[in-house]
A and B are shown apart, each in its own frame.
Chain A
């Protein structure tokens, strides 16, 4: 059976894939379906959902189209979640590989730095970083990555420690390969699978962290974010609860979708490796 078929046969993975596909479709179609500024006023304020079919999910306190905001928010969530997770995985894999492969003083220094980052709760770190540097999309990405690269770094280091004792690494030294080439061309690619297996959890956590930062008003002010929408809706929670509930549900489904699809991928690749 092909890995894709096996992946789609597990119901959780299938559900995750559907959710993720919907999210990606939303993100990609946002500016096609809702061109122009999603933060522009589109109708009367606080229009409830399902009243006006040109504004299916109604409008918020300022009369902005909630559906348009939701689509554009999907874009921000996905962009921040994926880039922050990718940055964390790349930095973690590089630091872990250098530490594990070089050993000695290099390992010692890099792992002390990793410890230092790990002792600070990652959300506090992100909060402090954005507060100091100021909110923009790039800064939010860096802030989230700062708190998440340590996990991948530890996993990569542990894997590299076992791989560097293998004969093929000795073989690479014997043919005169440069140590950095050995570390990144020969060792790192073989250390990646367990690191990549963490990516679904990291993407999900990054999306949540972005939402939390936006909720606290520390997101990029020029972009619609789900966290920002929830915060906005909170002020009128009694009269218009849907303004918080709609982006809240979107967030939950997104995190669930990323997590389920990620686990499904890990599962199918693990099965495949187990069989061969």
Chain B
């Protein structure tokens, strides 16, 4: 049985006097420990799907099953408790944290909220989390705005894995990072997935990154699924018009496919 199954998900927004479907009858599933990528041009509905899956916004139609339960039926306390299993990493790691927070507080919150560790035990858990994502424990007392972008994204990943989730949604999580840092973060994500069997819903407009990390890919165009399948197969030989356009627009990718042929 799949970990996450999204069926006929639809979300409409009113713009002026007409409504547009930001997400239009979208269905997909993710298996445990699998990475599914969502790709598509800007405005194709990727972030809206992420927010729907995380119950940050409510859909107009459709169904979301997570860990075998009707996820949309969960309310208040039950939903908050279940959130331990479904985490998120944002694009801009600076905007994703309270500007007043310290690294320790950011990691303390999930441990406290979900009762994962007692007050006395938490500092040790925080140190372990920092080390798990390749940082040192002496970063804990630092303010979030004092550390580098790459360190911040590692802290964001540490926060996401603090509650031992089965699925993490990453919305353009490496897009704002330097190329060298990006590679390190992707390695960290692959390592975490191997060790803890976490599934990823990996949103990116960068097909090169998707090819490197995702098992399967779903291509979106104006809120609808244009194409989906094995990540390498779809990127190497796109069938849909939007798939061809996206591949043509990715220069690095072009070269590798030409070299191969």
Binding site for B on A (CB under 8 A): 166-168, 170-178, 186, 189-190
**Residue ID in chain A nearest B77 by CB atoms:** A178
- Chain A residues, CB < 8 A from B83: 173-176
What are the interface flags for B148-166 relative to A under an 8 Å C-beta threshold, 1 for contact and 0 otherwise? 0000000000010001000
Most-contacted residue by chain A among B86, B96, B100 (CB, 10 A): B96
Chain A CB within 8 A of B84 CB: yes
Which 10 A-B residue pairs are closest in the complex by CB-CB distance? A176-B83, A176-B80, A167-B95, A175-B110, A167-B96, A174-B88, A167-B90, A171-B96, A168-B98, A176-B113
A-B contact pairs, 29 of them (CB 8 A): A166-B95, A167-B95, A167-B96, A168-B96, A168-B98, A168-B99, A170-B56, A170-B90, A171-B88, A171-B90, A171-B97, A171-B159, A172-B109, A173-B56, A173-B83, A174-B54, A174-B83, A175-B87, A175-B113, A175-B159, A176-B80, A176-B81, A176-B110, A177-B80, A177-B109, A178-B80, A190-B98, A190-B99, A190-B100
CB of A113, distance to nearest CB on chain B (Å):
26
- Nearest to B54 among chain A residues (CB) is A174
Per the bound structure, the CA–CA distance linking A186 and B88 in Å amounts to 18
- Please count the residue pairs between chain A and chain B whose beta carbons lie under 8 angstroms apart in the complex: 55
- Asked if B95 contacts A168 (CB within 8 A), the reply is yes
Residues of B within 8 A of A (CB-CB), count: 24
| B31 on the A face (CB < 8 A) | no
Residues of B within 8 A of A166 (CB): 95
**Known contacts A170-B56, A171-B90, A176-B113, then 9 further A-B pairs from the complex at CB < 8 Å, ordered by chain A residue:** A167-B92, A167-B96, A170-B51, A171-B159, A172-B98, A173-B83, A175-B83, A175-B163, A177-B109
Q: State the CA gap A28–B163 with chains docked (Å).
A: 53
What's the Cα separation between A168 and B100 when bound, in Å? 11
Chain A's closest residue to B99 (CB) is A190
Give B residues with C-beta under 8 Å from A: 51, 54, 56, 80-81, 83-84, 86-88, 90, 92, 95-100, 109-110, 113-114, 159, 163
Complex: A172 Cα to B90 Cα, angstroms: 12
Q: Hey, which chain B residues are within 8 Å of A172, CB to CB?
A: 98, 109
**Cβ of A174 and Cβ of B100 under 8 Å apart?**
no
A142 to B58 Cα, complex, angstroms: 42
Name the distance in Å between A176's Cβ and chain B's nearest Cβ. 4
- The distance from the CB of B199 to the nearest CB of chain A, in whole angstroms, is 16
Within the complex, what minimum Cβ distance (angstroms) separates B40 from chain A? 21
Which of A173, A175, A189 has the most C-beta atoms of chain B within 10 angstroms of its own C-beta?
A175
Complex CA gap A174/B165 in Å reads 11
Residues in B neighbouring A173, C-beta threshold 8 A: 56, 83
Q: Are A174 and B113 in contact (CB under 8 A)?
A: no
- CB-CB under 8 A for A168 and B97, given A174-B56, A175-B163, A176-B113: yes
- A167-B90, A167-B92, A170-B56 given; A175·B109 CB < 8 A: yes
A190 contacts across to B, CB distance below 8 A: 98-100
Q: A167 to B150, alpha carbons, bound, how many Å?
A: 18
**Minimal beta-carbon separation of A276 from chain B (angstroms):** 9
Least distance between A50 CB and chain B CB atoms (Å) = 54
Q: Which residues of B contact A174 (CB under 8 A)?
A: 54, 56, 83, 86-88
B-chain residues with CB within 8 Å of residue A178 when the two chains form the complex: 80, 113
Q: Determine the chain B residues whose CB is within 8 A of the CB of A167 once the complex forms.
A: 90, 92, 95-96
Q: Which of A168, A170, A173, A189 has the most CB of B within 10 A?
A: A168
Q: Is the CB of A189 within 8 A of B100?
A: yes
Minimum distance in angstroms from A178 CB to a CB of chain B: 7
Known: A167-B90, A171-B90. A177 touches B113 (CB 8 A): yes
**Bound complex: CA of A145 vs CA of B95, how far in Å?**
36
Q: Which residue of B lies closest to A174 (CB)?
A: B88
Contact across chains for A176 and B95 when beta carbons are under 8 A apart:
no
Q: How far in angstroms is the closest Cβ of chain A from B153? A: 13
